[in-house]
Amino acid sequence: MEKEYIIAGNWKMFKTVEESVDFLKALNEKINTLPQDDAVEILVFPPFTSLYAVKGISSRIKTGAQNLHFEENGAFTGEISPLMLGNLVDYVLIGHSERREIFKEKDEDINKKVKTALKHGFTPVLCIGESLEEREAGKTFSKVEDQLGKDLEGLNLVEIEKVVIAYEPIWAIGTGKNATPEQAQEVHEFIREILQKKIGSPETTRILYGGSVKPANSYDLLRQKDINGVLVGGASLKVDDFFGIIQDSYKLANG
């Protein structure tokens, strides 16, 4: 049976405009060696400063913003509004754990951002996940359920269906310590169940895994039943590594 995948790269605060352009040109060349396959969607989240310059480099690589403000205009120094993102991006990353932990974003802000992204036609990629402390205390499931409830509050069924969920256990982000495919699958299945209760269509929501994904572990993660793709940090900064993960998704998409 055909499975569809999203392979997404979060560049965080890396890459100048020139580096972003060079990277996407090189990645595009590699992707063009693969047959066109609509079952795999390739997506990168460059820094804001690179978004305009990378537009149009590849018809096979979509782009997203790493954040957005929930207001359209105003006295919010240093913030980026949905109007500024305009037709630059298709996706917006919301609630990444670095935003939650370092920049103290609360679930209520994240909820507003999800609504704003949808209102402006962007697909939100909502990041959720537990800390090491929470996992060790047996609170993984209650944590993700709580985040889903708060971050998606007030959305109607049609809207919830558009949201992509990224399950990113905080202890696995940038640590080199990925969740095992079984650990990830278990939480993905749970997320799907929770969403089923909310929207009644468990098969359609796309749930990505993120946390130290690299070519050495991507195949086994991607082949799990409830994993619809990966959100990749460190390994998305190197063309060969990111392309290796994309190749795995191609192998599995039609397998």
Q: Is 96 a residue of the active site? A: yes
| From 98, 105, 130, 168, the catalytic residue | 168
Task: Rule CB under 6 A: say whether 245 interacts with ligand PEP.
Answer: no
Q: Do the beta carbons of residue 64 and residue 88 sit within 8 Å?
A: no
Provide, rounded to whole angstroms, the least separation between the CB of residue 36 and ligand PEP.
Answer: 27
What x-and-dash track marks residues 172-211 binding ligand PEP by CB under 6 A? -xx-----------------------------------xx
Q: Which is nearer to ligand PEP, 111 or 212 (by Cβ)?
A: 212
Strands (E) located in the chain: 5-10, 40-45, 61-65, 91-94, 123-128, 164-167, 207-210, 229-232
The nearest distance, CB 249 to ligand PEP, in angstroms, is: 15
Strand 123-128, strand 164-167: pairing: parallel
In whole angstroms, how close is the CB of 165 to ligand PEP at the nearest point? 13
181-218 as b/e, with b when 16 or more CB fall inside 10 Å?
A: bebbbebbbbbbebbeebbeebeebbbbbbbbbbbebb
Q: Is 168 a catalytic residue?
A: yes
Distance CA 229, CA 224 (A): 10
The answer to whether residue 222 forms part of the interface with ligand PEP (CB under 6 A) is no
Question: Residue 148's closest CA among 205, 203, 219?
Answer: 205
Contact residue for ligand PEP among 58, 147, 212, 247 (CB under 6 A): 212
Residues of the shown chain interacting with ligand PEP in the complex, contacts defined by CB under 6 A: 10, 12, 168, 173-174, 210-213, 231-235
**Catalytically active residues, by annotation:** 96, 168
